[in-house]
A and B are shown apart, each in its own frame.
Chain A
Amino acid sequence: MENTIIEIVQFSFSISSKAILKNISLNVKESEYISIVGPNGAGKTTLLKCLDRIHKGGSGDIRIAGKPLDKYSQKELARKLSYVPQADGRISPFTVYEFVMMGRYPHLSPFSSPGKKDKDAVHDALAITGISEFAERFLRTLSGGERQKVFIAAALAQGAKVLLLDEPTTFLDPKHQADVYRLLKRANRERGFTVVSVTHDINSAVLTSQRVLALKDGAVAFCGFADKFMNNEILQKIYEKSFLFVKHPQTGKTIIAPEVP
């Protein structure tokens, strides 16, 4: 495999003896954009959290850049992977600049102040995400969509080449959803970030990513190129619901439309 950055081999994980992930295998290549979809409770978030060691343990093998996950210190891992969690509604009392600068933690030592390299990384992240003008504002004064960009900016500033995102567009209006997708696509295509994004938005997953991983009841139900995912047999198996398909007027790609009862 050329330049595999994340390698998951037969990984299983349980929480209080309930199996959440069963025998997951997946290889993610460098600079790949992969979406993880599946019904609620399929284990999508858990998989991301296991990768970033927010959940520890599990059986099987996970390697990041060729090195076993449990051989990393948390700080070392943070230089490889960054994570944008699901918005939990809690807002910390920091300004945008302060919050994004905290992304530089894995590069700082105690007592040290951020140096030029850190400041450059933060300015760069603010510029890519288009939030430079908000730098001095408190997180509380921003809208949900603006705040999501701040979270992505902080993850970019962290300097890790792999971006894990958990439902980055949930709760956002259409404009901000589009903004976030454009931004992730740019980070992926222009900056070479590897993007692993959990989403319920099947259409955008197909339109933005190269590959789709679908989980159902903790196991892999589909893994392959995005356009192959748009198949009623596969979708019905995963979501227990049938879908209608139409062609996207711009790209000609197959997208789904809701069935009207």
Chain B
Amino acid sequence: MNTGSKHKLILLTILLVLAIIVLSGAPMVGMITVPVSAILHPASGRMESDIFWKIRIPRVCISFLGGAGLAVSGMAFQAMFRNPLATPFTLGVASGASLGAAIYVRLGLVFSIFGISGISISAFTGAILSILLVYGLTRARRGFSTTTMLLAGVAISFFFSSVILFTQYMSDFSHSFRILRWLMGGLEVVGFESVLNMAPFVISGSAIILYMTHELNLMMTGEEIATSRGVNVWKTKRILFFATSLMVGGVVAICGPIGFVGMMVPHICRLLIGADHRYLTLATLLFGGVFLTLCDMLARTLIAPAEIPVGIITALLGGPFFVWLLLGKSSSKMGII
């Protein structure tokens, strides 16, 4: 057992080092090579230092935070519902967040609470209302299964998507363009404002998840066992709904819905480091961040100056990698959830 946890700590260290390398390396990569002097003088007014400090750094921060937040939300849903397909997307949380954000844009609202922009708050509200709706629907009838809930989630997800498209269709040109561009899932942000808007959501949500690792482990063994070991299951679920809605709302408001990360990254990490959430949560945060940052780096450089939507890259890279892990040894020994 000591060898097991040692192995896990080594893996976590590797991921941490990787994260540092990617976070410091990714801003260097791009169509324009930024000289060191431009990096050292952020306020020099030179184009290169503006590119580095006002475009690339915020973008790398956003993609890291976004990847981490979406991945760890997916991990929490998969554990809580003991289902490999439970994610913010299949449960309708992401589309609820999108709808919240789209309504905010459509109504032309501009407000902020404690410096947090209204679009993030609207997305968070949409996220939490949709998970309560999906969960409430399936609670209304006794004997519901997770499969029923996922079906309800997918149905609601489609419904919300239609409402968003309808909203977009009925909008004037500038609103419509804003909604559409953001629905495609992209990370083209400028300035630190977006980072400051997203960070509190992702950081507080992840902190809650990190606090709940023992409970997540037990939820994964089933609600009855969890209860008998002393977990207050209903309270745990409410806290997890809140934390994941924070993260999904915060991320989706800025990046739009990026699907693959929340579904696959937790599975990849589980196969690499095991299902113990005391290690898995940190691994998922780091891997999710690294993965989306790398994908975004490729998305903006492969056919520069044009950009490939990041969603294309995530699935293109992550899909085969996941299948490779799925066919591997640890998958057959451990199983998927």
Contact = CB atoms under 8 A, between A and B. Distances in A.
B227 interface: yes
In this complex, the interface size class of chain B, counting residues with CB under 8 Å from chain A, is 20 to 34
Contacts of A164: 228
Interface stretch (B10-18, B53-61, B170-178, B269-277): B269-277
B83 to A, nearest CB: 10
Contacts of B227: 52-54, 74
B82 interface: yes
A106 B226 CA distance: 10
Contacts of A97: 1, 4
Contacts of B333: 138, 140-141
Given A88-B222, A95-B274, A102-B218, A54 B1 contact: no
A91 interface: yes
B335 A93 contact: yes
A155 B214 CA distance: 16
Interface stretch (B118-126, B127-135, B229-237): B229-237
Contacts of B220: 92-94
A15 B143 CA distance: 11
A74 B232 contact: yes
B211 interface: yes
Given A16-B142, A54-B224, A54-B227, A105 B334 contact: no
Interface string B249-285: 0000000000000000000001000111010000000
Scoring A16, A95, A102 by chain B CB atoms within 10 A of each residue's CB, the highest score goes to A102
B212 interface: yes
Interface stretch (A77-85, A176-184, A224-232): A77-85
A73 B270 CA distance: 32
A120 to B, nearest CB: 13
A103 interface: yes
A95 B337 CA distance: 12
A159 to B, nearest CB: 11
Contacts of A90: 82, 222
A108 interface: yes
B162 interface: no
B204 interface: no
A103 to B, nearest CB: 6
Contact of A82 (B211, B218, B228): B228
Given A16-B142, A141-B333, A77 B225 contact: no
Contacts of A103: 229
B222 A93 contact: no
Nearest to A52: B228
Contacts of B336: 93
Interface string A135-163: 11010110000000000000100100000
Interface string B202-219: 000000001111100110
B334 A79 contact: no
Interface string A84-119: 010010111111011100110110101101000000
B147 interface: no
Given A135-B1, A158-B229, A108 B214 contact: yes
Nearest to B235: A74
A135 B2 CA distance: 12
B221 interface: yes
B214 A105 contact: yes
B229 A106 contact: yes
A91 B1 CA distance: 21
A237 interface: no
Nearest to B336: A93
Contacts of B222: 85, 88, 90, 92
B150 to A, nearest CB: 16
A78 B230 contact: yes
Contacts of A16: 142
The 9 tightest CB contacts between A and B, nearest first, are: A78-B230, A83-B228, A75-B230, A106-B230, A93-B275, A93-B334, A105-B229, A140-B335, A92-B221
Given A75-B230, A111-B211, 15 more contacts: A15-B142, A75-B232, A79-B230, A81-B228, A82-B228, A91-B335, A93-B220, A93-B334, A95-B274, A97-B1, A98-B275, A103-B229, A105-B214, A110-B214, A138-B333
Interface of B: 1, 4, 82, 142, 210-214, 217-218, 220-225, 227-232, 270, 274-276, 278, 333-337
13 contacts: A74-B232, A76-B230, A79-B230, A85-B222, A85-B224, A85-B225, A92-B222, A93-B270, A93-B334, A94-B221, A98-B217, A103-B229, A105-B218
